[in-house]
Amino acid sequence: GESVGLHLPTLSVQEGDNSIINCAYSNSASDYFIWYKQESGKGPQFIIDIRSNMDKRQGQRVTVLLNKTVKHLSLQIAATQPGDSAVYFCADLGTFQAGTALIFGKGTTLSVSS
């Protein structure tokens, strides 16, 4: 069946370092991917998305890379700050059509120390 997974459950970095969080997916037909940040006690917060016709997309301090050949995507956070500490999920949306359910991976807990 379809699955979305992250390589590491936890990642610890120092403030100011760059963070890389990885995710693998299994559905080669997937068209749309989203990274969410979830802080303790809160709902997932949209960070950045990427369509399958792109390899890279940049936001403010974040970059998502998509490698369709190996079905892998990554989230890069530049100059990581303590406020970035949270659980990060990649989510797979099979198609961009309204009504398609998101399939979430298990999450990577990012801990940023000062």
Partner 1 sequence: NAGVMQNPRHLVRRRGQEARLRCSPMKGHSHVYWYRQLPEEGLKFMVYLQKENIIDESGMPKERFSAEFPKEGPSILRIQQVVRGDSAAYFCASSPPQGNEQFFGPGTRLTVL
Q: Would you tell me which residues interact with partner 1 (CB under 8 A)?
A: 4, 32, 34, 36, 41-46, 49, 89, 93, 96-107
* CB 100 to partner 1: min, Å: 6
Please give the angle made by the CA atoms of 92, 95 and 99, to the nearest 5 degrees. Answer: 95
Nearer to partner 1, 4 or 86 (CB): 4
Smallest distance, partner 1 to C-beta of residue 17, A: 25
Handedness of CA 52, 58, 63, 65 (dihedral sign): positive
Nearest CB to partner 1, comparing residues 18 and 26: 26
Min dist CB 27 to partner 1, Å, is 14
Q: For residue 83, what are the β-bridge partners? A: none
Please say whether the beta carbons of 106 and 93 come within 8 A.
no
